[in-house]
Amino acid sequence: MDNSDYQQYKIAKTISEQIEYLNKNKRVQFDCMDKDTAKDKLLEYNYIHIITSFKHKFAKLNENKEVEKVNGNHVYERDVDFNEYYSLFRDERKRYPTIISNILDFEIHFKTITAYHILISNDIRDSNQLQLFLDSLRLQFSFLELRYTKTRISHMNNHIDSLKKDIFKYANVYCFFLIE
């Protein structure tokens, strides 16, 4: 087997094992929020969303502001109640409508400007020219093999293939670029 396309994953922990791990390895306490409620929150929202996303707030950081590891483990200098993690998660979720609105606003502006420049710079007037443009992108991706994994390049190429299939869904090339 070619190991370049192989990745081993951590073994999933049960919710009880996650609680024990948090207490033992991350100095998480369950005073403000008891263990049973914390288990419910982990089941409902996932360890990655509640804990992993906010570890930088509680773990020791190095001079580059990266979470410091000693013997493969993060360093926690104080006890942290689970509720502190959960509160950060909950507060971030409250900001999602603003974040999503800003992302959508950026996306429409970005797509509009990009479509304009692609169409003007490449003089795309019909579906054949659009397919040639997409093929040229695919060719350019092949030169990125030293920068990106085969999986990422394959993902980009699959997206190009998907775009090529969707060309005939749109009567206008401007709509194609703005919607896709």
For the stretch 28-64, pLDDT in tens is 999 999 999 999 999 999 999 999 999 999 999 999 8
Q: Output 5 or 139, whichever has higher pLDDT.
A: 139
The β-bridge partners of 28 are 80
CB–CB of 119/173 below 8 Å? yes
What are the phi and psi torsion angles at 28 (to 5°)?
-85, 130
Least confident of 51-55, 61-65, 86-90, 117-121: 117-121
Residue 100 has pLDDT above 80, yes or no: yes
Q: At what angle do helices 127-142 and 150-166 cross, to 10 degrees?
A: 180
Helix (H, G, I), strand (E, B) or coil at 99: helix
Please report which residue ranges of the chain form alpha helices under DSSP H: 15-25, 35-45, 47-50, 55-58, 82-94, 96-122, 127-142, 150-166, 173-179
pTM of the full structure: 0.60
